[in-house]
Amino acid sequence: MSDVIEPIPGIRPAPHRTLWIGYTLYLLGSLAFAFNGTVSKAILLSGLDSARLSQLRVTGAFLFLLVFVAINRPHRLRIERAEWLPLIAYGVLGVAMTQYLFFVALQYLPVGVALLIEFTAPVFVALWFRFVVKEPTRRMVWLALLIAILGLALVAEVWRGFSFDAVGLIAALGAALALSTHYLITDRQMRVAQPRDAVSLTMWGFGFASLFWVITQPWWAFPWSDFSGNSDPILGPVIGNRPLWFLSAWMIILGTVVPFWLVVASMRHLRASQASVVGLTEPLLAIVVAWIVLSEALSLVQLLGGVFILLGVVLAERSRARP
H helices of the chain, where? 19-45, 50-72, 84-89, 98-108, 111-118, 121-131, 140-156, 166-190, 198-216, 244-252, 258-266, 272-278, 281-294, 300-317
The residues, any chain, with a CB within 8 Å of residue 77's CB and separated by 6 or more, are: 69, 70, 200
Least confident of 57-61, 114-118, 191-195, 319-323: 319-323
- Percent of the chain topping pLDDT 70: 90
pLDDT digits (tens, 9 = 90+) for 230-273: 999 888 888 999 999 999 999 999 999 999 888 888 878 876 66
Confidence band (pLDDT; 50, 70, 90) for 320?
low
For residue 14, the model assigns a pLDDT of 66
C-alpha distance from residue 119 to each of 11, 112, 137, 227 (Å): 24, 10, 20, 30
Domain locations in the chain?
19-317
Give the range among 95-104, 186-195, 210-219, 236-245 with minimum mean pLDDT. 186-195
- Where residue 188 falls among pLDDT bands split at 50, 70, 90? confident
pLDDT greater than 50 at residue 323: no
* pLDDT of 146 above 80: yes
Cβ 259 vs Cβ 33: under 8 Å: yes
Say if residues 278 and 284 touch (Cβ distance below 8 Å): no
pLDDT value of residue 7: 40
Lowest mean pLDDT segment, chosen from 131-135, 159-163, 283-287, 301-305: 159-163
pTM of the model: 0.88
pLDDT average, residue stretch 189-215: 88
